[in-house]
Amino acid sequence: MAARLDAGGWQVSTDADGADVVLVNTCGFVEKAKQDSIETLLAAADTGAKVVAAGCMAERYGKELAESLPEAQAVLGFDDYTDIAARLDGVLAGERFDAHTPRDRRELLPLTPVARQAAKVVVPGHATVDEHTPAHLRKVLRRRLDNGPVASLKLASGCDRRCSFCAIPAFRGAFVSRDPQELLAEAEWLARSGVRELVLVSENSTSYGKDLGDPRALEKLLPQLAAVDGIVRVRASYLQPAETRPGLVEVIATTPGVAAYYDLSFQHSSEPVLRRMRRFGSTERFLELLATARKLAPEAGARSNFIVGFPGETREDVDELVRFLSEARLDAIGVFDYSDEDGTEAVGLDGKVHEDTIKRRFSRISDLADELCAQRAEDRLGSIVEVLVDSIADGEVEGRSEHQAPEVDGSTMLVAGDEGVDLAALRPGDFVRARVTATEGVDLVAVPVGMISAAPPAVAATAAS
């Protein structure tokens, strides 16, 4: 959207002060995220600018959102994205747009994955500027909104899984991969703009390539991305345990430049709960997967999310989850309390857990997660970690180690020591080795002991300013 707006003559910024139009990219996943989106839209209206709602919540609710939120001049769905600049031109001119009636976007694409690439359907984050030009030679349709050393790289959109608690496939659509050559071209473009770490994102990264006729496409792509000049680390996110093949585990653990980091969507570990969730696995199978990764890379990082209070969950199921968490040694754990989501199978399941019980279980698992993650951080005391410097403010140098993804995990604070690296000389984008000397919850404190790769001077100066 930012690239299309820029090409359409709009000046794009993350600062709403003085803006003519504020475009809010909403989230429609869980209740808290939806409420945050509403609050952001209302706050945008207070600026006096014209307000436009886009993103997943806008797509998911369409007319319903428009009718309940008169503060927004327009509610735009995914089909509006290709003409987003013209839509905002209209909003600025005082036009009113009729919001769309939501539909199941899975029905827009062929059921057979390999037939989807040829379909003429708007898929968020996918755009062929010129279909007659080879993917690696096409113009990169992207406009960065910051100049930091980390950027996401979208692998795919949509999901073919049918988890009973999740509404995402209905409004994001069926799974569609991006062309690997297009991804490599965008990675090179990002590297030229100063990006040092790529975070690969999608609804399900382990499905990448299945619609391209190559289920091992991610295993092949990771080393290629890591070899892009200027990129020092590539991180894969959103891995489905049931689809995480041994070959992918090995590539992530052993490829230079690829973070030995496993963002695995476990959701629970009790087999009965997982089956009701329409998912696969168990405590033993998940522990075996983690053990396989750590056999190849003993210091590998791992994170996951879990839902407590799912319909039918018993005390024994919660105890099983506690057993798994206690043995899994995860670096970061996200805990969510179950709530019914419109249009999902779980809404109609029996065995609903009482709200007070859900709150107690959420509190119990959250407290345990904090304790276990802090212990896991302490396990890294004395070890050498590779840290990408993210920011420097008021003399504090903050970055992330290999097991720390941006925004969702902890961070590493670099402090002065006697081991050869001048802390004052470090800049955002520098990649250093550091010795862990202390922990603060999930965060690490470390002394830099050697430079691995310095940020390009021009880029470092821009980021520091």
Same domain, 65 and 89: yes
Q: Tell me if 463 is assigned to some domain.
A: no
Examine the fold and report which residue of 345, 379, 413 is the final residue of a domain before the chain moves on. 379
Q: Tell me if 291 is assigned to some domain.
A: yes
Confidence at residue 216, expressed as pLDDT on a 0 to 100 scale: 95
Q: Within 13 Å, how many C-alpha atoms sit on residue 142's CB side?
A: 19
Same domain, 368 and 440: no
- With contact defined as beta carbons under 8 Å apart, do 421 and 277 qualify? no
Confidence at residue 459, expressed as pLDDT on a 0 to 100 scale: 53
Residue-level pLDDT, tens digit, the chain, 465 residues: 999 999 999 999 998 888 999 999 999 877 788 889 999 999 998 888 999 999 999 999 999 999 999 999 999 999 999 999 999 999 999 998 899 999 999 999 989 999 888 888 888 877 765 667 777 677 888 999 999 999 999 999 999 999 999 999 999 999 999 999 999 999 999 999 999 999 999 999 999 999 999 999 999 999 999 999 999 999 999 999 999 999 999 999 999 999 999 999 999 999 999 999 999 999 999 999 999 999 999 999 999 999 999 999 999 999 999 999 999 999 999 999 999 998 899 999 999 999 999 999 999 999 999 999 999 999 999 999 999 999 999 889 999 999 999 988 899 999 998 777 889 899 999 999 999 999 999 999 999 999 999 998 765 544 444
Examine the fold and report which residue of 331, 351, 379 is the final residue of a domain before the chain moves on. 379
**Distance (Å) of CA 310 to CA 28, 197, 279, 313:** 20, 36, 13, 6
Same domain, 45 and 123: no
Q: Tell me if 108 is assigned to some domain.
A: no
Rounded CA-CA distance 73/6 in Å is 21
- Which two three-digit tokens encode residue 387? 């840290």
Q: Can you spell out the DSSP letters for 208-240? A: TTGGGT-TTHHHHHHHHHHTSTT--EEEE--B-
pTM value is 0.92
Confidence at residue 32, expressed as pLDDT on a 0 to 100 scale: 81
Q: Is position 163 annotated in a ligand binding site?
A: yes
Examine the fold and report which residue of 102, 136, 165 is the final residue of a domain before the chain moves on. 102
φ and ψ at residue 128, rounded to 5 degrees: -100, 105
Q: Tell me if 460 is assigned to some domain.
A: no
Same domain, 430 and 311: no
Same domain, 357 and 334: yes
Rounded CA-CA distance 183/93 in Å is 36
- Which two three-digit tokens encode residue 259? 């973070």
CATH number at residue 60: 3.40.50.12160
Give the amino acid at 17: D
The domain tally of the chain equals 3
Burial class, 118, CB count within 10 angstroms (exposed 0-12 / middle 13-18 / buried 19+): exposed
Range of the domain at 50: 1-102
What sign for the dihedral angle of Cα 202, 207, 212, 218? positive
Q: Tell me if 222 is assigned to some domain.
A: yes
Confidence at residue 448, expressed as pLDDT on a 0 to 100 scale: 95
